[in-house]
Chain A
Amino acid sequence: MKALVLRTPAVGPALALLAAVLIFSLTTDTFATADNLSLVVQQSLVIGTLALGQTLVILTSGIDLANAAIAVLGTLLMAQLVLGGTSAPLALLLGILVAIGIAAITGGVVTGISLPPFIVTLGMLTIVTAAARIYAGGQSYPVTDELLTFLGTRQYLFGYVEVTVGMGLALVMYLIAWYALTRTAWGRHVYAVGNDIEAARLSGIKVRRTVLSVYLVAGLVYGIAAWQALGRVPNADPNAFQTGNLDSITAVVLGGTSLFGGRGSVLGTLVGALIVAVLRSGLTQAGIDSLYQDVATGVLVIVAVAVDRFSRGRQA
């Protein structure tokens, strides 16, 4: 059992998620209902999507502090362009392209002049947040366009299980990322770069190209996160998701991905994002004050990193 946990980083988090779901199902009447579980997933969607991009960056032993800010700028672009008469598909595309463009600049600076990702994305966070506020002109913009809010569309399976289009899209994105990381040469290169950049270089991997490609993919993911956000709350607000970058890092860490790079999985991150949402919902329904919920999440983060350290020590 212990060996399985150590070998497959997503197993530990999955067990933790299962335990949390069980505990809340037994201790509250309202947690284990089909529509509440559906809500928990919906509540984790935007952070879960941001965390997917974050995982890719962290696997290369980087970190992205600007991801949520990029998504917020994306929501504003999409909303304002449509309000200004641009067709919705074009606005959506431009919003996503701008997200990719910003990520490309970040990736270019990180790989081109070898600056630490922490510093580059910290700068980007400040720039993009300011750009979003300037562009918004101190306003927030309600969104009524059907395409922009499409990911919030609800369907019922078997008559009572509520799902949204956004859930389906997130699942597909996670599966694609999982496949790319575990079944393709690109995926092996990403892990290799994160594990030991020199060893990767010496074994003939094009390190810069690999890292740059990761930022580009992450940018695409952040653009889609913007779309997810409009499906969830149809309102583009320059003040939204102020803690989204840290929340996404929390999901990655809880999912068992190592902050030192090279180890972890996107499926773990999916579980990590769900753990946060399950805690928030379950503890709320158990009547625990939200500040204590933050304490619980914080403790879990530290435990998760300790487990990572411990398992690394064992492997080395």
Chain B
Amino acid sequence: MAGTACSSQKATDGRGNDDGKIKIGLVTKTDSNPFFVALREAAKAQAGKDGAELIALAGKFDGDNEGQVAALENLVQQGVDTILVTPSNSTGILGAIKKAREKGILVIALDTETNPKDAVDATFATDNLEAGKLQGQYVKAALGDRVPQLLMLDGSPGGTVDEQRHNGFLQGIGLTESDPKVLGKESTNGDQNKAQQAMENLLQRAAAVNAVYTINEPAARGGFAALQAKGLADKVVVGSVDGGCQGVRDVKDGKYALTVMQFPKKMAEDGVKAGVEFTRSGKKPSGFTNTGVTVIADKPVPGIQAKDTAWGLQNCWG
């Protein structure tokens, strides 16, 4: 670790200043997910403001560790000063991150933590356990006197973010994993089509459902379509996470009770700012920075602070 710090000091003197421009690399999980598009656009905008150059690369699909490693290597070749990365897998790309840091490059994880957390210099991300917890608490409050009968539309098996939100939700609604009130759960990979199919199948055996957890808004859309087709839309409280503009509109239209907004723009802007600061002064950020979450809902429930969808539409992404 001491060696890394030492070489980074050297690097700030020479690297990246060859053509007078600060170079920042960004590696997202994919090119196409609106969340990462918003993150990339915000990073580009911030880099433009700060007079830095942003090089954005991505994996081909969620779980493309090989593609992310190649992207990291290519950025090192291009002499970037800072790399911002949303790791597809918490451990898969640690070797490439280590090599980049050994060359004195500042590496910041955005959105998803690495394991171990100190494999990167710093992490700017949503506290996903907190996001899940807020979703669970709101759904419980919205149910009122009704006993929860829960279906869960999960993300990808083994994903860090997915597990944190899932566990947070169960804590928030006050259930355990094996509670019989959890009527069923399915992986959706956060994909609308898969989520719809999963919910259709779950409803075949769990028509008594009154609460639904979703990993993100695409999963919520798929799940809601299946509920609507079964005529259950009014009887079920659906909660989600993300804060995409479509998701906020869906809350406004009453499709889901709430969504928990994340702030990818803030992650990207803070990351770019930290990179610029690092090149200018050699100062490195460290530790986990919570970029915050906000519950977006139009019906207030006791005990939970929420913003309405009008605020949500002004602050949403994508």
List chain A positions with a Cβ less than 8 A from chain B.
30-31, 33, 35-36, 39, 43, 46, 133, 136-140, 142, 152, 229, 232-235, 237-243, 280-281, 284-285, 287, 290-291
Q: Are the C-beta atoms of B66 and A233 separated by less than 8 Å?
A: yes
Which residues of A lie under 8 Å from residue B70 when comparing CB positions?
39, 43, 280-281
CB distance from A316 to the nearest CB of B (A): 38
Give the one of A133, A240, A281 with max B CB within 10 A.
A240
List A contacts of B61 (CB < 8 A): 239, 242-243
Q: Chain B contacts of A46 at CB under 8 A? A: 66
Q: When the two chains form their complex, are residues A234 and B63 in contact, meaning their CB atoms are under 8 A apart?
A: no
| Docked CA distance A245–B65 (Å) | 16
Pick from A30, A137, A243: contact of B77, CB under 8 Å: A30
Given A43-B73, A239-B62, A284 contacting B89 (CB threshold 8 A): no
Closest 4 CB pairs of A and B: A138-B157, A239-B63, A235-B92, A142-B91
CB of B92 within 8 A of CB of A243, answer no
Within the complex, the shortest CB–CB distance from A76 to chain B, in Å, comes to: 12
Q: Is B79 an interface residue (CB 8 A)?
A: yes
A-B contact count (CB 8 A): 83
What is the distance, in angstroms, from B30's C-beta to the closest C-beta of chain A?
10
Can you offer 21 A-B residue contacts whose CB atoms are under 8 A?
A43-B73, A46-B66, A133-B157, A136-B158, A137-B157, A138-B156, A138-B158, A139-B157, A229-B66, A233-B66, A235-B89, A235-B91, A237-B89, A240-B63, A242-B63, A280-B70, A280-B74, A281-B70, A284-B74, A285-B74, A290-B57
Q: How large is the interface on B (under 10, 10 to 19, 20 to 34, 35 or more residues)?
A: 20 to 34
Tell me the bound Cα distance from A285 to B73 in angstroms: 11
Complex contact B66–A241 (CB within 8 A): yes
**A240–B55 CA distance with the chains assembled, in angstroms:** 24
Q: In the bound complex, what is the Cα–Cα distance between A142 and B156 (angstroms)?
A: 18
- The answer to whether A35 touches B60, judged by C-beta atoms less than 8 angstroms apart, is no
Q: How close is A224's CB to chain B, nearest CB, in angstroms?
A: 16
Task: Tell me the minimal C-beta distance from A130 to chain B in angstroms.
Answer: 13
Please pick, from A35, A140, A232, A284, the residue contacting B57 in the complex, using a CB distance under 8 A: A284
Cα distance A281–B77 in the bound complex, in angstroms: 10
B286 within 8 A of A: no
In the bound assembly, the distance between CA atoms of A237 and B73 in angstroms comes to 20
Residue contact A237 to B57, C-beta cutoff 8 Å:
no
Q: Report chain B residues within 8 Å CB of A33.
A: 77
Binary contact track B50-64/A, C-beta < 8 Å → 1, others 0:
000001011011111
Tell which of B58, B65, B71, B156 touches A235, judged by Cβ atoms closer than 8 Å.
Answer: B65
Considering the complex, give the chain A residue whose CB is closest to the CB of B56: A289
Determine the distance from Cα of A136 to Cα of B202 in the docked complex, in whole angstroms. 24
Q: Which residue of A lies closest to B95 (CB)?
A: A234
**Which listed residue, A232, A241, A280, touches B69 by the CB 8 Å rule?**
A232
Given A233-B92, A284-B74, A291 and B63 contact (CB-CB distance below 8 Å): no
Q: Is B43 an interface residue (CB 8 A)?
A: no
A140 to B93, CA, bound (A): 12
- Measured between beta carbons, the chain A residues less than 8 angstroms from B93 are 233
- Additional A-B contacts beyond A36-B77, A285-B78, A287-B55 (15; CB < 8 A): A43-B73, A138-B156, A229-B66, A233-B69, A233-B92, A233-B93, A233-B95, A237-B92, A239-B61, A239-B64, A241-B66, A243-B61, A284-B57, A284-B74, A285-B77
Docked-complex contact A39 and B66, CB < 8 angstroms: no
> Is B121 part of the contact surface with A, judged by Cβ < 8 Å?
no
Most buried by A among B61, B65, B95: B65
The answer to whether B31 has its CB under 8 Å from any CB of chain A is yes
CB contacts (< 8 Å) of A281 on chain B: these are 70, 74, 77
* Complex partner residue of A240 from B31, B64, B95, B158, CB under 8 angstroms: B64
Per-position 1/0 for B26-37, Cβ under 8 A of A: 000001000000
Instruction: Pick from A140, A281, A285 the residue with the most CB of B within 10 Å.
Output: A140
For B156, the chain A residues whose CB sits under 8 A away are: 138, 239
